[in-house]
Structure 1
Amino acid sequence: MHSSEPATDEIPVAVPKKGLLARIADDLSDPVLRALVSATAVSRIGRGVFLAVTVLFFTQIIGLSGGEAAVVLAASSGCGVVASFLGGWLADRWSARRMTFGFEVLAGLMLAAYAFAGDFVSALVLASLSGFFDSMAYSARAAIIARGFASERRVHARAVLRTVTNVSIAVGSGFAAIALALGTAEAYRVVIAAAGLLCAFGSLPLLRLTAAVDAPSRARIVPLLTETGSIDVEAAASVASERSDWRRRSPWRDRRYLLMCILSAIFGMQFGVAELGVPLWITQSTTAPEVLVSVILIVNTTLVVIFQVPASRGTHDLRVAGRVTLIAGWLMLVACIVYALAAGLPTWFAIAVILAAAIAHTFAEILSQAGAWGLSFELADPVRAGAYQGVFGMGFSLGALAAPIVVNATAITLGLLGWIILGGVFLAAAAGIWLIARRAAASASVAGFPT
């Protein structure tokens, strides 16, 4: 006779914590993540090369003015806004893996074509096409992640890919030093062409993905005939009902998701603080040397590589995602105030203060991204995963467009008061996201679903 009670003489065996290499091996054992990591590692090296030399290529080689270069980059971002939704929308209708591959190849070829740009118009056209195809590919890739992983693995996959992206861009920036050191038009053009081709060839591992990451096939409205040749009314009604349900599941009808996307886009302007606000503040309002901008970039990249994956654990849970986002909001408020306090300080004191703010800012970035990924997946309708991820990506693109204007109008123009206002905006957006997550978790609990 077997007792149903556990034996009292059994000693629980502690499972040893896996090391870094073991965790990497586990991640790469997943065929979907392995293909995405391989594609990201190669293509983002090319993107890193391009990012490092783009502005100087425009101004020093092609001869564009600073204003013209800004217009070119803004046009690229603007095309990305439309393409972000379109890529996700199409990924619900056709093969997401084939679309991602095709769009990334096209985006890479457009980057390579920059080497042949010779004036404002050609640079504008190529930048617009490159931004359009890159954003299409990004949204289609997000749909692959939404369908290719279980709930608790999606955010982890995004975190791993972001870590790989940061490392690859850093490596690419190192390669870009070749063109920067030589300084000749030929060197710039060769490096840019090579970077674009690297982006295109980097998409090849995506072909290893299976049809499991694609959207399920949908019924098509065509004349459905019975064996006697008459229309099958019942089957036609079933297809029409499916189409109606499909439209009803549109993210544009989901007010909660749209509000979350808007608030995430507002918080996403923190990238504009790092890219525009901090460099301008350092050079215009503090005694810190300009090289500190590069130091901050290195610190940011290092911390993201180390902490993004650990910080993303558990954020598939709505409550956890909301909580880490709220913490990120408080960190951004602190970072903005500390950035402002660096004005007028002695050089070394200003450097220390700015670095402290940059560290708080980076952890706010890490936590906000983890929370946003979790909510973007868990609040989405799985049937329309591509469209939902497209709307989410479009929100971030809009935030990126608005960031330079908002940051300049607050922090750079108003000084301490502007930094406080900007920090308050980030905290308010984070608090709104936290409230949405909290209510969604409560609703899920009442309905009997896991949160």
Structure 2
Amino acid sequence: MLDRARTAVRDVPGGRDGRRMLLVQFIDKIGTGLWAAAVALYFTYVTHLGVGQIGILVGVSGALGIAGAPLAGRLADRFPVTHVLIGSQLLRAAALLALLTTHDYALLLVLSAIGALPDRASSVLNKLYAARAAGPDRVRYQAVQRTIGNLGWAVGGLGAAAALSFATAAAYQALLIANVLSYVLMAALTARCAEPQAPTRVVRTHDPKSTGAPDTRPPRPWRDRTFLLYTATEAVLFLDDAILQVGMPLWIVHATDAPVGLAPLILVLNSVLVVLFQVPFSRFGTTPAAARRLLAPLAGAYALGCLALSASTTDGRWTATAAVLLAAVALTFAEIIHATVSWELSVHLAPAEAQGAYLGVHGLAPSVQRSAGPLIVTTVIAVGAPAWPVLAAVLAATCLAQNALVRRHETATTTPLSVPPVTVSEH
């Protein structure tokens, strides 16, 4: 698995700066993996918050952090993306480090919300960097980036497990500081990366017969109905994250005869499959048409995974275990396929001259899913086995709706995908 990752990194598009940015992503996920495992324990044992207070803090900061994605996209259209990335990384470090200075609940809430903004912005900025640095190879670059990120999560999780074995306030504080240092190191490495070339700005000159001024305003995603509908479908398709991270462990424990120890192994299996198959699968979605065609097998993978979870309530330890494993594999491949589709189509549907703003709005989809997804999945679990086929139908129908939406866009425009943008004049 490590050999596969090393090969992918060696051949990554974008040259030395591309490889350096992959190292940034690796460090980011190590630091996040360290802190994610300790955050609830830190607020419990260091700042002495109750369960309800922690829930409100995480929920409110997460909701406010949703604004980070569109804000980062807008900034990246006006300033160098590497500069916005550095600012985001340093703000994450400062907000996290400030948690050490207070036990006041109101301040902790404010600091957590401030830290959530650049945290949600980071994925949009990394995607924008990839789109500009790798060009037509952006899907493969982001596949390698995701593979490296999963390895970083694994390393961070192992480090957190070792530190948390001490179960002391000092251990929780050490994990926080380690994450802060990771952000500082990321900023230093990003500062050494050259700024990738931004897409050519499209300027539409007015008709000589008209008296109007040239239209130099970039398109606005909030007025683009097609893109907004596409983003809405994306919010639904990102549910694979909530199903795998939240739904499956709860389902195993409360609804099946499968062993409880299977729950953490499902997450390990997910990471291994992503590392092994994300990069190879990326070659199937390197053009908009190819990415759109992947929506059909994506619908099938979602349906198989959800139906297998419904079937896992069957009596018998081995039968339940087999059904849960089948669901985990199917939903992991759904995650892999959707990542490939999303990377290509989101950039394809974003006009070059407003790429940052559009990708920032698209970044709302995973952010909204992180907030609403656990609630949706736990509702499905509360209803029981009959709810999984309903969710399967919803996910499959969403894939078909997205397919139709993108097809209509392709029919309505003559601009080919993955072709460098040019200046357009109206005569």
CA distance in 1, matches of 2:301, 2:29: 29
Q: Deviations over 1:331-374 (max 9, x none)?
A: 11111111122125222332222111101110001001110111
Quick check: 1:110–1:129 contact (8 Å CA) kept in 2? yes
CA distance in 2, matches of 1:368, 1:120: 39
Instruction: Indicate which of 295, 298, 308 corresponds to 1:328.
Output: 298
Q: Deviations over 1:12-57 (max 9, x none)?
A: xxxxxx9875553221761342131021111221011011112232
Residue 255 in structure 1 maps to residue 233 in structure 2? no
Map 1:243-282; keep pairs closer than 5 Å.
243=216, 245-246=217-218, 249-282=219-252
- What is the match of residue 106 of structure 1? 91
Quick check: 1:36–1:206 contact (8 Å CA) kept in 2? yes
CA distance in 1, matches of 2:160, 2:4: 33
- What is the match of residue 166 of structure 1? 150
Residue 414 in structure 1 maps to residue 363 in structure 2? no
Instruction: Indicate which of 43, 51, 63 corresponds to 1:66.
Output: 51
Q: Which runs of 4+ in 1 moved over 4 A?
A: 18-23, 214-219
What is the CA distance between 1:218 and its match in structure 2? 10
- What is the match of residue 425 of structure 2? none
Instruction: Indicate which of 66, 71, 75 corresponds to 1:81.
Output: 66
Quick check: 2:17–2:193 contact (8 Å CA) kept in 1? yes
What is the CA distance between 1:117 and its match in structure 2? 4.8
CA distance in 2, matches of 1:176, 1:67: 24
Residue 425 in structure 1 maps to residue 394 in structure 2? yes
Q: Deviations over 1:87-115 (max 9, x none)?
A: 00111111211011111121123233334
Instruction: Indicate which of 2, 5, 9 corresponds to 1:24.
Output: 9
SS in structure 1 of the partner of residue 94 of structure 2:
helix
- What is the match of residue 241 of structure 1? 214
- More contact order relative to length (CA 8 Å, sep ≥ 6): 2
Go from structure 1 to structure 2 and tell me whether the alpha carbon gap of 1:340 and 1:38 turns closer, same or farther (over 3 Å shift). Answer: same
Go from structure 1 to structure 2 and tell me whether the alpha carbon gap of 1:425 and 1:116 turns closer, same or farther (over 3 Å shift). Answer: farther
Count residues in correspondence. 410
CA distance in 1, matches of 2:37, 2:157: 6
Residue 367 in structure 1 maps to residue 337 in structure 2? yes
- What is the match of residue 206 of structure 1? 190
What is the CA distance between 1:412 and its match in structure 2? 1.2
Go from structure 1 to structure 2 and tell me whether the alpha carbon gap of 1:369 and 1:348 turns closer, same or farther (over 3 Å shift). Answer: same
What is the CA distance between 1:79 and its match in structure 2? 2.2
CA distance in 2, matches of 1:392, 1:19: 30
Q: Which amino acid aligns with 1:377?
A: V
What is the CA distance between 1:201 and its match in structure 2? 1.5
SS in structure 2 of the partner of residue 182 of structure 1:
coil
TM-score by length of 1: 0.84
What is the CA distance between 1:215 and its match in structure 2? 6.6
State, as a whole percentage, how many aligned pairs show the same letter: 29
Quick check: 1:108–1:200 contact (8 Å CA) kept in 2? yes
CA distance in 2, matches of 1:275, 1:20: 23
Q: What residue ranges of structure 1 are gaps of 5+ in the alignment?
A: 1-17, 220-233
Residue 50 in structure 1 maps to residue 31 in structure 2? no
Instruction: Indicate which of 64, 72, 76 corresponds to 1:91.
Output: 76
Quick check: 1:146–1:385 contact (8 Å CA) kept in 2? no
